[in-house]
Every structure is written in C-alpha cells, then in structure tokens.
Structure 1
Amino acid sequence: MPTEENLVRKAIELVAEGETKKAIEVLLASLANPDWSIRSYSAQILGELGKISLSEELFTTTIQSMSMHLINETDGWVRESITKAFGKIGANNPQLVKDIIPNIVSVLIKDEHEGARGSAAKSLGDIGRKSPDLILPGSTLDYLAQRLKSDESWIVRYYSAYALGEIGTQVPDEIEKYIEILEAATNDDDDGVKNAAKEALGKIKKSK
C-alpha cells in the first residue's frame, strides 16, 4: 500500500528522470486508491505539475480523467484537492480547463463540503483572472455573488469575494452589478471576508 511520502518520492523521481507522463499515470492511478489521503495528495501533486509547461495532449487527457474522478468522488477533502488542482492548471493554461468549468461551478453551487466549495470559488477566480471569457458565459458570476452573500461558511464567502475581485480586474464593466454585494460583504461578521471584499473592491476600482 503506497503512502503519501512514497507517492511524492515516486512522482518526483519520475519527473526528474524526464518521465513526466509516467508520473502522471502513477498519480492518476492513485486517484482510485481506497485511502482518501492518497487520493487527495495525488490531486495536489497533479495540480503542482500543472504549473509546468506540458503538452496540451497530455494534460487534456489528465484533466478528463480527473474530472471523472471528481464526479464520482465521495470524500469532500478529495473533491477540494481536485478542484484546487484545476485552478492551478487553469491559471497556467486556461484553455486546458475550458471544458470542465461547468464541473467546477457545480462544486461551487452543490457540494456539501465547504472546503470543496471554497476551492471551486478560488479556482474560478484564478482561471478568470487569466481568461475571463471562459468564466463570463452562463451564470458563474451570479453563483459567486450568491455564495458571497449567503454561504454559511466564511471560507466560501472569502474565496467568492476573492474570485469576483480577480475576474473584476479584467472585466470591470461586467462586475459592476455585483459591487453592492461586495460592498455589503465589507460588513461581514468574519474579518477575513471583510478584508477580501475590500481588497476586491480596491482591485476593481484600480482597473477602471
């Protein structure tokens, strides 16, 4: 049975040897491991590998596989890790994740795990900062605003404010109708959410 330490060592060794494809194969296989912590760690490493300039073909296949695991995953912590990995990959190359944006949005609006919802919001913000055209179609901004306004978890509200700020710096006109919600969030009960909303408003104002 692999451990987190062994998994990391194996992946690093393969990447160092120029065998990135094999490293990804090992990590994808580990997403089916019965141990949730191994699945979670595998997703985290895949996200880190997403920061490397790899072939589009390789990562398209990787993302498709991760997306299927996300849909079928029963553990909230693992869904959080997979969703967070999508954000890291998408921040480096947004086009690679364009087809699974709806999956990330689904986690944001439906997942019962607050960490998964929070990572979905952050990932949408990170992807939207690089390529807002992938985020604007549909009701993604509406969903982020709804989460900022009423989610019971401070971490989800925090990252929803963050996401609106990141996307808003690129398309300030599109974000205009959500300014009141961001302003209201500056009076949130949680100091972190207050600060995130203030920072988002400042970024949007500066970008105009």
Structure 2
Amino acid sequence: NAEIHDIAVALGVDAHGPDDSPDLSGLRYGKVVIMSDADVDGSHIQTLLLTLFFRHFPSLIDRGHIYVAQPPLYRIDVPAQGKKRPARRLYALDDGELTAMRDRLAQEGVRETAIEIGRFKGLGEMNPEQLRETTMDPATRRVLPVRVRAGGRADTVEMFRMLMGKGEASSRRSWMEAKGDTADADI
C-alpha cells in the first residue's frame, strides 16, 4: 500500500519478504529507532511498527538495523546535597525502576520529601531538552536492538501472524485463554 511504499522510499530499501535477498546498498540509515510513548497505547504502536518490519522489511531486523527506544515514564529531581553532590535529574522507565531509584536515594540519605517526581504522559509532553536527553542523544538514551533468537524466526513470524493477522480472531482467543494469565497488563 501507499504507506509501506513511502516507508520503503524513506528507508531506501524495497519492501521484501523473509526469503528474499534485498539490495540494502541504498539503505539511508544505520539505525531505525521506533519511538513511542511509555504506556499501553505506545506499546500498541510499537507492536504495529514491529509487525510492519517483520512482514515487509525482515532483513533490516536480521542485520541489526531496527531498535526500540525506551523513553522514561518518570523524572526524578534530586536536590543538591552539599558541595560533593550537585542537583541531579534521573529518569525511570517504569514503576519498578522508580521504586529502585527511591530506595537507592534513601540509602544515600536523600529524604523522600526532598525529591520531586514527575510522570510523563508521552513523548509529546517532554520539552526539547528532555526529549534529547532521554530519547534522542546516543550518549544518554536507552535503545534495545530488535533481535530474533537463533532458530526462532519461524516461531516469531508465526506469533506475529497469529496476534496481528486478519482472520486470526479465533487463534488469538484460544491463545489468550491458554496464556492470558501470563500477560503483563498496564492499565
């Protein structure tokens, strides 16, 4: 469709399947980083984009060109503590990391009431400096490479097909009934 064509033009690589040998000499980017909000909606967008790359640009995944950004959900402002400890701004990806940072700060002697914690609603809420520091700057951002374990391509493609494919509602329902209790829901 037109959107896939436009993405292919932007990337400099034609859409292809898993058994094709595409010409990657025109690839315009060494890294393609999927950036979405750190919430359920962002995860859904991320899944849709990963599905697109698995279906139409699998060689970019195979050759290590696709990454997923991990924007933080929380910002923690820690005040200066004497001359040896200047003010700091920390970022936490999720509730678990926020709890770990609070515990570490308490061990450092920082009072809970002294820190300020802000929750980001999404990437669009960040000011340009925060977006650069947390998600864009290669020195400070967190990104994960998208990889398929050795020998796992067929299973991964099948899972994406079942979860994201048209006409797969009964397969999805069966899978959710069997494995739904192992899913981690962010509500």
Query: Normalized against structure 2, the TM-score is what?
Result: 0.27
Structure with more strand by fraction:
2
TM-score by length of 1: 0.25
Q: Which has the higher contact order (CA 8 A, sep 6+)?
A: 2
